[in-house]
Copies of this chain bind each other. A is one copy, B any other.
Amino acid sequence: MSDLTELRDRMRTFTEERDWDQFHDPKSLILALVGEVGELAELFQWLPADTARDRAQEPHLHQRTGEELADVLLYLIRLADVLDIDLAQAALHKLEDSTTRFPPKNFHGQAPEKH
């Protein structure tokens, strides 16, 4: 079984065992996701941009970052489950779209701008 399917099923069981389905409407889950993204941001906010990647290899920060990334992923998986969205499929489609929209020869070394 795939990673994402396994994690989805485990989250589903975890939720049911605590009768927490009642809290997992989409807006609440998005707010929970925002909370975890905020905790991730706090770990990196004051690190110098050019050394942040190396600093994140220090054991304590590496551990904490893994925990926050995990929290974001778990709420994302739960949200997709509640909304009947196949997350792996959606990600593959999106990546194919981006591959077409941003041809390497036009976007080489050039970040797409968002205005």
Contacts and interface: CB of A to CB of B under 8 A. Distances in A.
B109 A22 contact: yes
Interface string A81-98: 011111110111111001
Given A3-B2, A35-B114, A37-B34, A62 B85 contact: yes
* Copies of this chain, whole number: 4
Given A18-B108, A76-B73, A104-B18, A66 B44 contact: no
Given A14-B98, A18-B104, A41-B35, A23 B73 contact: no
A28 B14 contact: no
Given A7-B91, A62-B83, A85-B65, A35 B27 contact: no
Contacts of A7: 88, 91-92, 95
Contacts of A14: 95, 98-99
Contacts of A80: 69
A8 to B, nearest CB: 10
A55 to B, nearest CB: 9
A38 B114 CA distance: 11
